């Protein structure tokens, strides 16, 4: 893996390998997560759909199909309070085409065309494409909300970070999306070209020199003016926990707890907090799995996840509504146990092994490699999986306990099920 | 021990298939440039296997719905350390799943492969069920069932199967119901285990940076010879007609979902690689991303990019289907049926065939990138008595005429069902 600065604000992240049968690549820009979120989200989706050479989605899809089912996927991520906009392309390696033709270079060209040569008129993006994309994005928001596990986590984040940029949806709101016009999006595209930090990431067999020269050419054609600063606010502790409760017609209730992890930046005490999270609720050896699921049979899933880019930690579970409080108490008791150091040295070793084994596995998957680059898009410093593994191995028991004691509960979100006439109620008659 | 190497020149890949002295079939794909490995130990047994008897037994046993999945959960436990605790000592990531027709136990690791394989083989071959441990799982699986009941993507599919089939056990939920799993006992679990977890009904597949010798070393150590078990099953008869043309359910969703499936009747339970590829191409020609129909539906606001086609098959069932999100699924259905009618009448153009074939072939090759996909596909192919490379080869040899025939025979407009979630 290597990261290269091409020019001011543009970098290349790549891993050269012929281990895989496809090449994967992405082009990303990073912007502050703010009131322009909807505009940015809609823009990157429009860019993925057509370009000047292929002005309709049908032409575009046909061109991609003839490149052996290459796919261009728009991805919108929240990394701390940075909104990352990404075009992801996956293409067949030339060695495996049916008639020996070359596709990888054409695919790379296609990706750049989408980003740098969109199908616009002087008035901006075309109304017809815009209307379609608005509907698709709004429906994507609806579809994600229909997944109650995602919905509950989103609601928790929204409530917990109400007064921070992080509380915003990475897609913006449906109302904001509805109000956008083609001209504003065109202006935003120009702004991104001039100011947003950009990264081209590549995993495949194409030589480095070729990637560098291609990227340099694009940078010369589209020089950056000034680079937007990216910043994330870290609240190191909570000022008392609040509980939000909602009711919906669902069969299973959801419980999500948000904590402040005591971090002041994304890599602050990272290894100790990551290990602490693993012992608390990050695997089948963890306290939440062993006790809340296996011993108390309260749930099917109950897991903790560290979001280092914002310095917060989430626990989520699906439970019977009547068991929500019991589960909440059980989760709190497990965290208290970690804070008191009530875990064996063996479990520390297990958590370290589990994390390090997974880190080593990053090299066995081109999507994991690209994902590794992607997870660093908005961070200032790049670490290899081996560097992270070394940090993890060096953590002591005391550091884990200290990390657990820095954690403060901020918000509890409970989704209750409103049962019309529940099967359980019937049984009691 | 019989051993053979199966190769694909096109992909530059090969794997070894052998029958171990214990009676277990083992497949190993050595990938020396990979750090880690993935192993999957599977039984050709799933939620559709609901009524059976061992050869020589008097009575058939009819088991509660969801028992295969329940067994999968319980196999992780033992008298001593459970399997998760054992894997925790090595750092491997272990899991299992149950589908309609198979149950698989798996791990992925970057280090200590042999140790991990030993744990996998040992725990799957060491059942330990008691009334108390069986009871404990009800709360956990109960919540898993509830979770799926709220998941619109699952419900729209399960409901479609319930609408298409009258008797086929694929209409039963994989995890069963809260009521059915309450009837599961340790004794019933042992009955299922001793019938379906015999080496003759299982396969082990490994892919990654390991060698055949490593796999055999562990197999020799752990696996004991087993005499093959013969069993019979009652497969209920199934009429040609669908049970319901329309099935609807209300869930707490903002975006209505649909699934449109076509009922097929076949004289054999398993669909070949060729049939699968043929129907994948047919579905792509009817309404895939490169068709004008897809783009019409998209621009008319009738579908979004979640729309897709799939040939949904397994042991005893085969359904070409389209799924998606739409405010008016009836219109989508109408448009698809009229496209099918026109393809039946006018045939497929060379261009349509070529572009779909190329696109799907390119997507298919991706499954050869990752060791988890490889091990999973090896298990699936083995249960179907096919090789891993059969599908890829079909893309080279299949003709347009065969796809036209598939469209004519496999999409009966009179026998399709629409499932709606709103």
A424 confidence band (pLDDT: 50, 70, 90): very low
Q: Which two tokens stand for residue B20?
A: 């171990």
Residue to test with chain B: of A65, A148, A291, A320, most B Cβ within 10 A = A65
d(CA A160, CA A157): 5
ipTM greater than cut 0.95: no
User: Which string of DSSP letters, residue by residue, matches A68-135?
Assistant: TS-EEEEEEEEETTEEEEEEEEEEE-GGG-TT----HHHHHHHHHHHHHS--EETTEE-HHHHHHHHH
Q: Please say whether the beta carbons of B78 and B123 come within 8 A.
A: yes
Q: H/E element holding B216? A: helix B212-222
Contact indicator for B140, B73 with CB cutoff of 8 Å: yes
B-chain residues near A98 (CB < 8 A): 358, 361, 395-396
Nearest CA in chain A to B138: A297
Q: How many CB atoms lie within 10 A of CB A155?
A: 19
Measured CA to CA, the distance from residue B142 to residue B134 in angstroms comes to 13
| Residues in Cβ contact with A207 at an 8 Å cutoff, skipping those fewer than 6 apart | A16
Cβ atoms < 10 Å from Cβ of A74: 20
Q: Which of B73, B87, B137, B150 to mutate to test the interface with A (most CBs of A within 10 A)?
A: B150
Q: Is the Cβ of B36 closer than 8 Å to some Cβ of chain A?
A: yes
Cα separation, B207 vs B413, in Å, equals 42
Residues counted in chain A: 429
Q: Is A305 helix (H, G, I), strand (E, B) or coil?
A: strand
What are the beta bridge partners of residue B25? B19, B203
How far apart (Å, rounded) are the C-alpha atoms in residues B101 and B50? 11
Give me the residue from A67, A350, A423 closest to B89, CB to CB: A350
- Do A117 and A59 have their domain in common? yes
- What is the residue range of A255's domain? 242-427
Does residue A323 carry a pLDDT above 80?
yes
Q: What is the pLDDT of residue B81?
A: 85
| Cα–Cα distance, A321 to A414 (Å, whole number) | 9
* Contact between chains at A69 and B359 (C-beta distance less than 8 A): yes
The CATH code that applies to domain B2-233 is 3.30.830.10
CB distance B20 to B222 below 8 Å:
no
> CB–CB of B35 and A360 under 8 A?
yes
A272 and A404 housed in the same domain: yes
Q: Do A297 and B85 touch (CB under 8 A)?
A: no
Q: What percent of chain A has pLDDT over 70?
A: 97
Distance (Å, rounded) from C-alpha A311 to C-alpha B51?
53
CA distance A260 to A380: 22
Contact criterion met (CB < 8 Å) for B139 and A297: yes
From A61-65, B272-276, B339-343, the region with the lowest mean pLDDT = A61-65
Distance (Å, rounded) from C-alpha B78 to C-alpha A143?
Answer: 41
Q: How confident is the model at residue A425 (pLDDT cuts 50, 70, 90)?
A: very low
Higher pLDDT among residues A419 and B110, named by residue: B110
- For chain B, the average pLDDT equals 95
Contacting residues of A for B108, CB less than 8 Å apart: 361
Q: In what order do the strands lie in the sheet with B308-314?
A: B246-249, B416-421, B257-262, B317-325, B308-314
Q: What is the pLDDT of residues B199-215, one digit of tens each?
A: 999 999 999 999 999 99
How many residue pairs bridge chain A and chain B with CB atoms within 8 Å of each other?
Answer: 181
Q: Is residue A234, in this structure, part of any structural domain at all?
A: no
Confidence band, pLDDT 50/70/90 cuts, at residue B345: very high
Q: Is residue A289 part of a domain?
A: yes
A229 domain residue, yes or no: no
Determine, for residues A135 and B108 on separate chains, whether the beta-carbon distance falls below 8 Å.
no
Judge whether A236 lies within some domain.
no
Q: Which residue of B has its CA nearest to A57?
A: B295
pLDDT in tens, B346-396: 999 999 999 999 999 999 998 899 999 999 999 999 999 999 999 999 998
H or E stretch including B53? strand B51-54
Residue A283 confidence class, pLDDT cut points 50, 70, 90: confident
In this structure, what token pair is assigned to residue B11? Answer: 């992909």
Distance from CA of A249 to the nearest CA of B (A): 6
Q: What is the mean pLDDT of residues B16-22?
A: 96
Q: Which whole number is the average pLDDT over A286-313? A: 94
- The question of whether B59 is a catalytic residue gets the answer no
How far, in Å, CA of B26 to CA of B3, rounded? 9
Residue A63: partners with Cβ closer than 8 Å, 6 or more residues away: A53, A54, A110
**A149 shares its domain with A210:** yes
Do A297 and A263 fall within a single domain? yes
How do strand A242-248 and strand A408-417 relate by DSSP bridges?
parallel
User: How far is Cα A82 from Cα A37, in angstroms, rounded to an integer?
Assistant: 10
| Residue A274 in domain | yes
- Phi then psi for residue A319, to 5 deg, are -140, 160
Round to whole Å and give the CA distance between B283 and B114: 43
Pull the structure tokens for residue A186.
């065109």
| Whether residues A34 and A181 fall in one domain | yes
CB contact under 8 A, A62 and B355: yes
Q: Do A76 and A133 share a domain, yes or no?
A: yes
Measure CB to CB from residue B361 to each of A98, A136, A284 and give the nearest one. Answer: A98
* A410 and A328 within one domain: yes
Provide the token pair at B125: 């071959």
User: At a CB cut-off of 8 Å and minimum separation 6, what does A123 contact?
Assistant: A182, A183, A186
Give percent above pLDDT 70 in chain B: 100
Domain membership flag for residue A98: yes
* Residue where a domain stops, chosen among A221, A256, A282: A221
Closest CA to A111 of A197, A44, A167: A44
What pLDDT band is residue A360 in, cutting at 50, 70 and 90? very high
pLDDT tens track for B46-83: 999 999 999 888 999 999 999 999 999 999 998 888 99
Q: Is the pLDDT of residue A180 over 70?
A: yes
| Predicted pLDDT of residue A422 | 43
> Model confidence over A141-174: pLDDT tens digits?
999 999 999 999 999 999 999 999 999 999 999 9
Q: In angstroms, what separates the C-alpha of B367 from chain A's closest C-alpha?
A: 9
Structure tokens that stand for B289 in this block? 């991303």
Sign of CA dihedral B123, B128, B131, B132: negative
Under DSSP, the state recorded for A380 is S
Look-up of token digits 């089939």: B165
Q: Which two tokens stand for residue A298?
A: 């309260």
β-bridge partners, A84: A30, A77
Average pLDDT rounded to a whole number, residues A20-49: 96
* φ and ψ at residue B365, rounded to 5 degrees: -60, -30
Q: What is the mean pLDDT of residues A401-419?
A: 95
Tell me which DSSP letter residue A173 carries.
Answer: -
Task: Enumerate the domain spans of chain B.
Answer: 2-233, 246-421
Question: Best mutation site among B362, B366, B389 for testing chain A: the one with the most A CBs within 10 Å?
Answer: B362
The dihedral region occupied by A311, where left means phi > 0, alpha psi between -120 and 50, and beta the remainder, is left
Query: How many folded domains does chain A comprise?
Result: 2
Over residues A96-139, the pLDDT tens digits come to: 887 788 888 899 999 999 999 999 999 999 999 999 999 999 99
- Can you tell me the distance from the alpha carbon of A428 to that of A420, in angstroms, rounded to the nearest whole number? 15
Sheet containing A253-260: give its strands across: A242-248, A408-417, A253-260, A312-319, A302-307
**Is residue A191 domain-shared with residue A66, that is, in the same domain?**
yes
Q: Which fold has domain B246-421?
A: Cytochrome Bc1 Complex; Chain A, domain 1 (3.30.830)
The alpha carbon of residue B141 is apart from the nearest alpha carbon of chain A, in Å, by 6
For B150, other C-beta atoms within 10 Å of its C-beta total 24
A119 part of a folded domain: yes
What is the C-alpha to C-alpha distance for residues A97 and B322, in angstroms, rounded to an integer? 28
Q: Are residues A21 and B290, on separate chains, in Cβ contact within 8 Å? A: no
The answer, for B152 touching chain A at a CB cutoff of 8 Å, is yes
* Residue with the two structure tokens 């370009």: A51
Q: Are strands B202-208 and B25-30 parallel, antiparallel or unpaired?
A: parallel
* Cα separation, A333 vs B55, whole angstroms: 52
Q: Alpha-carbon distance B146 to A319, whole Å?
A: 9
Q: What is the pLDDT of residue A420?
A: 55
Q: Based on the domain organization, do A141 and A252 belong to the same domain?
A: no
How do strand B61-62 and strand B51-54 relate by DSSP bridges?
A: antiparallel
Helix, strand and coil content of chain A, in percent to the nearest 5, comes to 45, 20, 30
* Domain finish residue from A187, A221, A255: A221
| pLDDT tens-digit map of A207-261 | 899 899 989 998 888 888 899 999 999 999 999 999 999 999 999 999 999 999 9
Q: Are residues B416 and B248 in contact, defined by beta-carbon separation less than 8 angstroms?
A: no
CA distance A157 to chain B (A): 20
Dig out the tokens for A136 from the structure: 């698709």
The answer to whether the CB atoms of B255 and A364 lie below 8 A apart is no
Longest distance between any two alpha carbons in chain B, whole Å: 66
Please tell me whether residues A286 and A403 are part of one structural domain.
yes
Looking at the domain assignment, is residue A233 inside a domain?
A: no
Nearest to B91 among A65, A297, A356 (CB): A356
Cβ neighbours of residue B397 under 8 Å, at least 6 residues apart?
none
* Residues composing chain B: 422
Residues of B numbered 325-364 whose beta carbons fall under 8 angstroms of chain A's beta carbons: which are they?
325, 355-356, 358-363
pLDDT category, B276, cuts 50, 70, 90? very high
Three-state secondary structure string covering A158-192: HHHCCCCHHHCCCCCCHHHHHCCCHHHHHHHHHHH
Q: CA-CA distance, A348 to A354, in Å (whole number)?
A: 10
Judge contact between A417 and A252, C-beta under 8 A: yes
pLDDT-based confidence at residue B108 (cuts at 50, 70, 90): very high
Considering only residues 397 to 416 of chain B, which have any Cβ-Cβ distance to chain A shorter than 8 Å? none
Residues A323 and A412 in one domain: yes
The label of the residue with tokens 């340099």 reads A216
Task: Read off the CATH number of the domain in which A27 is found.
Answer: 3.30.830.10
- Cβ–Cβ gap B150/A250 under 8 Å: yes
Statement to judge: residues A165 and A255 lie in one domain: no
Q: How far apart are CA B28 and CA A415, in angstroms?
A: 46
Cα separation, A36 vs A33, in Å, equals: 7
Q: Which of A69, A249, A318 sits opposite B147 (nearest CB)?
A: A318
pLDDT in tens, A378-391: 887 899 999 999 99
């Amino acid at each position: 893996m290597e990261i290269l600065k091409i020019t001011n604000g543009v970098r290349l992240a790549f891993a050269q390998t012929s281990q895989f049968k496809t090449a994967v690549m992405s082009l990303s820009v990073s912007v502050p997560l703010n009131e322009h979120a909807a505009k940015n989200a809609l823009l990157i989706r429009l860019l993925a759909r057509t370009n000047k050479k292929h002005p309709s989605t049908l032409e575009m899809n046909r061109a991609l199909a003839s490149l052996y089912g290459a796919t261009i996927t728009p991805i919108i991520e929240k990394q701390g309070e940075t909104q990352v906009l990404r075009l992801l392309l996956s293409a067949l390696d030339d060695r495996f085409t049916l008639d020996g033709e070359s596709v990888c270079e054409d695919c790379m060209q296609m990706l750049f065309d989408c980003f740098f040569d969109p199908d616009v008129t002087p008035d901006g993006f075309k109304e017809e494409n815009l209307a379609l994309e608005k509907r698709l994005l709004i429906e994507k928001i609806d579809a994600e909300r229909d997944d109650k596990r995602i919905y509950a986590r989103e609601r928790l984040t929204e409530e917990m970070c109400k007064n921070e940029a992080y509380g915003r949806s990475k897609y913006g709101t449906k109302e904001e999306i509805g109000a956008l016009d083609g001209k504003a999006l065109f202006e935003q595209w120009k702004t991104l070209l001039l100011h947003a930090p950009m990264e081209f990431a590549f995993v495949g067999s194409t030589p480095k020199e070729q990637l560098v020269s291609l990227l340099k050419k694009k940078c010369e054609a589209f020089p950056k003016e000034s680079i937007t600063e990216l910043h994330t606010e870290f609240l190191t502790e909570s000022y008392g926990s609040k509980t939000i409760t909602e009711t919906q017609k669902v069969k299973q209730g959801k419980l999500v707890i948000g904590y402040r992890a005591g971090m002041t930046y994304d890599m602050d005490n990272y290894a100790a907090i990551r290990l602490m999270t693993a012992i608390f609720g990050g695997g089948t050896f963890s306290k939440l799995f062993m006790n809340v699921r296996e011993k108390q049979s309260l749930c099917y899933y109950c897991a903790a996840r560290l979001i280092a880019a914002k310095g917060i930690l989430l626990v989520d579970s699906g439970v019977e509504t009547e068991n929500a409080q019991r589960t909440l108490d059980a989760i709190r008791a497990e965290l208290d146990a970690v804070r008191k150091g009530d875990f064996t040295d063996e479990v520390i070793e297990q958590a370290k092994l589990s994390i390090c084994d997974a880190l080593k596995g990053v090299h066995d998957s081109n999507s994991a490699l690209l994902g590794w680059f992607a997870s660093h898009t908005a961070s200032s410093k790049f670490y290899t999986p081996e560097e992270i593994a070394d940090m993890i191995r060096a953590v002591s028991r005391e550091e884990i306990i200290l990390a657990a004691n820095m954690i403060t509960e901020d918000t509890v979100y409970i989704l209750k099920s409103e049962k019309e006439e529940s099967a359980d109620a019937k049984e009691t008659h | 021990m019989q051993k053979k190497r199966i190769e694909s020149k096109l992909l530059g890949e090969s794997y070894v298939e052998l029958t171990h002295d214990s009676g277990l079939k083992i497949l190993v794909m050595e990938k020396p440039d990979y750090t880690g490995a993935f192993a999957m130990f599977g039984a050709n047994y799933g939620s559709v296997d609901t009524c059976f008897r061992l050869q020589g037994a008097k009575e058939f046993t009819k088991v509660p719905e969801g028992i295969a999945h329940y067994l999968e959960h319980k196999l992780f436990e033992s008298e001593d350390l459970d399997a998760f605790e054992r894997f925790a000592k090595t750092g491997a990531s272990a899991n299992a799943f149950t589908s309609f027709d198979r149950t698989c136990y798996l791990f992925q690791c970057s280090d200590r492969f042999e140790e991990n394989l030993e744990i996998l083989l040992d725990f799957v071959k060491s059942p330990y069920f008691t009334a108390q441990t069986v009871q404990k799982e009800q709360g956990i699986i109960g919540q898993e069932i509830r979770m799926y009941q709220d998941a619109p993507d699952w419900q729209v599919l399960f409901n479609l199967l319930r609408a298409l089939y009258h008797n086929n056990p694929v209409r039963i939920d994989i995890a069963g119901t809260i009521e059915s799993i309450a009837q599961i006992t340790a004794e019933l679990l042992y009955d299922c285990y001793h019938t379906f977890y015999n080496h003759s009904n299982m396969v082990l597949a490994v892919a990654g940076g390991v060698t055949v010798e490593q796999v055999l070393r562990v197999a020799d150590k752990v696996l004991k010879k087993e005499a093959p078990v013969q069993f019979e099953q009652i497969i209920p008869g199934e009429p040609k007609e669908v049970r319901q043309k329309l099935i609807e359910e209300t869930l707490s969703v903002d975006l209505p979902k649909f699934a449109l499936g076509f009922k097929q009747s076949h004289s054999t339970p398993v669909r070949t690689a060729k049939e699968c590829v043929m129907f994948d191409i047919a579905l792509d020609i009817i309404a895939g991303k490169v068709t004008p129909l897809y783009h019409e539906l998209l621009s008319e606001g009738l579908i979004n990019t979640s729309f897709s086609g799939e040939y949904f098959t397994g042991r005893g069932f085969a359904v070409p289907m389209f799924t998606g999100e739409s405010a008016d699924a009836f219109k989508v259905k109408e448009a698809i049926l009229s496209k099918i009618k026109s393809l039946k009448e006018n045939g497929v153009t060379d261009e349509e065939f070529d572009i779909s074939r190329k696109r799907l072939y390119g997507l298919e090759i991706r499954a050869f990138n990752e060791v988890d996909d490889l091990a999973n596909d090896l298990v699936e192919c083995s249960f179907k008595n096919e090789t891993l490379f059969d599908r890829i080869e079909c893309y080279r040899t299949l003709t347009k005429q065969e796809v036209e025939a598939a469209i004519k025979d496999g999409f009966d407009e009179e026998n399709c069902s629409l499932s709606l979630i709103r």
